[in-house]
Amino acid sequence: MARKRPRIPAQRRHGASTRAIHAGEDRARYADSITTPIVQTSTYAFKDSKEIAAYTRGGKERFEYGRYGNPTEQVAQRRLAALEGAEDCVVSSSGMSAIITTILALVRSGDHIVITDDAYKKTLEFCSAYLQRFGVSCTIVPFGDYDAIEAAVGRHTRLIFSESPTNPYLNIFDLERLEDIAGKHKVLTVIDSTFATPINQRPLEWGVDLVMHSCTKYMGGHNDILAGAVLGRRELIEEIRALHKAIGGVIDPHCCYLLLRGLKTFAVRMAVHNATAMKVAEFLEGHRCVKRVYYPGLPSHRHHEIAKAQMTGFGGVVTFDIAGPLAMAKRFLDALKLCYIAPSLGGVETLITHPATVSYYTHTRKQRYALGITDSLIRLAVGIEDADDIIADLDQALKRTGKARRAKKT
């Protein structure tokens, strides 16, 4: 069956790079500055009592207190909304702050949510361990099992939460099938699209209600900020904003400035991430020291056809299984010279991590394997260095590891 065309907004929009540079800004800025100024203040003064009344009674638009809004923050929200094609946006102090605030704002005691088992570890932890304290139940279903997702939806289900692509296997959620289920049962849908970014995928155009991003990653782009965002229809965002103001997970003005600065080069950086990651994935898939590569741009990925249908690029993360036991994986990491061993992703530097010993070090081997986190699994966050240099570093480390393995056998 042919896939439906995504719901693209009717209004004409500038290109992604133009929006990443200009969207959300007023043409005239303080002191004729080209860049958005950092309004570094926690509170705002009223001229007199009349201005107070105009604000509190007359609805005059202005700023009052830092937790309720900031001019630099406002520009960042407008720009992100323009990039995602959303009506509104709330930015937070981290991606997890955005996720938790969004879920708590939308559910009530007695509600139920459905979440897929391939979601981010901390998101799953919050939903399974903490939501019950608020009288909200949670069902975790296998990613990609759409029958199980639909079977889990009941009369008290408020929302379905998933990611696309997921971490670390880069599984792709069929957004069309998700919306068919959600529309049938009249539940909200929330997609964490951090790994895709709005350059590569815009879930709102497929009918998804809310999109989440860890702006710490590709949007900031330089491994120097923590930030998160939720985007979607204005009425839903207003619900989330109200709780956001009360909880206080606000992003500071200087961080907003760095986010805006990162967004200036967002589109061009993503083009390099996409192209370089594809080259790296193809190289790794042909290497004798690699057992398997997980990258949605490769025909070997189980969701390649879905990715081609609903994405315009495949992102900068490549996951692979190295040939050999845990000791070989560690030896490979230790042999790298250009790639940094570090968590996170989306920055200009290439980062590499070993989930078994970093993210899942508290789990037993049996628990890890049940989650698909094997001893040999490696996640590579490709930066924007020259592709040949990244590949050369991986190649020399793999060859050194392979030699050590062969020497051990003999």
- CA dist., res. 307 & res. 298, Å (int): 10
Q: Judge if 278 and 173 occupy the same domain.
A: no
**Average confidence score pLDDT of the chain:** 93
Residues catalogued as catalytic: 67, 120, 192, 217
Looking at the fold, whether 38 and 183 belong to one and the same domain comes out as yes
The 10s digit of each residue's pLDDT in 374-399 is 899 999 999 999 999 999 999 999 99
The mean pLDDT of 240-251, rounded to a whole number, is 96
- The pLDDT assigned to 10 comes to 46
pLDDT of residue 5: 52
For residue 9, is pLDDT > 60? no
pLDDT beyond 50 at 236: yes
Residue 405, pLDDT score: 61
9 domain-assigned? no
Q: Give yes or no for residue 332 having a pLDDT over 80.
A: yes
Range of the domain at 285: 267-409
Amino acid at 157: T
Domain assignment present for residue 5? The answer is no
Last residue of a domain, one of 264, 299, 324: 264
Q: Which residue has the higher pLDDT, 364 or 165?
A: 165
Residue ending a domain, among 220, 247, 264, is 264
- For residues 332 and 404, the model is more confident at 332
Q: What tens digit of pLDDT does each residue of 313-327 get?
A: 999 999 999 999 999
- Read off the DSSP letter of residue 3: P
At 10-49, the pLDDT tens digits run 444 789 999 999 999 988 888 889 999 999 999 999 999 9
pLDDT tens digits, one per residue of 126-146 = 999 999 999 999 999 999 999
In angstroms, the CA 174 to CA 370 distance is 24
Q: Chain centroid to CA 41: how far?
A: 29
Q: Which of 246, 264, 282 is the last residue of a domain?
A: 264
Share of residues in the chain with pLDDT > 70 (%): 95
Residue 364 above 90 pLDDT? no
Residue 1 has pLDDT above 70, yes or no: no
- pLDDT for the residue numbered 235: 98
Give the CATH number for residue 239.
3.40.640.10
List, for residues 187-212, the tens digit of each pLDDT value. Answer: 999 999 999 999 999 999 999 999 99
Residue 8 included in any domain: no
Cis ω on the peptide bond leading into residue 168 (within 30° of 0)? yes
- Helix 234-247 crosses helix 95-106 at what angle (to 10 degrees)? 110
Q: What is the mean pLDDT of residues 100-118?
A: 97
